[in-house]
Amino acid sequence: MPDETTSPELQAMIDRAGRITADEAESLDTTWKADEGIVLPEPSASLAIQGGADGRMVTNADLVAAWQHALDAAGAAGRVEEIEAAQQAGRAVRHSEAHLRDRAGAEEAVRSAVLAAGVRDLVTDDEYATLTLAWRKVLGEG
């Protein structure tokens, strides 16, 4: 259901997120995870004693910095609608055909692209490119 306060551009992205196919979700997930530069900690005796590793670690500092800057800039500028649009896009992925496949990376990729589009005027070209890469690569849009 369209939101009256969301810009037409962001609403179009949210609508597209809701139509993501299972194959697109898998591609977004794979692309996003590759972009994250994920590493899994090496198993060790000390980790086993401490209850094991707590999972993956994102090592793409540019991606983390771009996301944090976009989020901080949106908050500082009072751009609540843009933040909410990014959240809505993530929910749209969950309700699309994406539920048939691993969608965690797909949700992150979509939220990232929608937030970047919403705060395009507040982020650098490099940050925008970093945050929208998976969306553009898989969906060819943005």
CA distance 86 to 83: 5
pLDDT at 47: 46
- Per-residue pLDDT 10s for the chain (142 aa) are 455 678 999 999 999 999 999 899 989 888 888 877 755 455 555 445 555 545 555 567 888 899 999 999 999 999 999 999 999 999 998 888 766 666 788 898 999 999 999 999 999 999 999 999 999 999 986 5
Identify the burial level of 59 via C-beta atoms within 10 angstroms of its C-beta, where 0-12 means exposed, 13-18 middle and 19 or more buried: exposed
Q: Exposed, middle or buried by CB within 10 Å (0-12, 13-18, 19+), for 119?
A: buried
HSE, CB side, 13 Å, CA atoms: give it for residue 27.
Answer: 14
Phi, psi (degrees; rounded to nearest 5) at 39: -125, 145
Give me the pLDDT at residue 30, please. Answer: 87
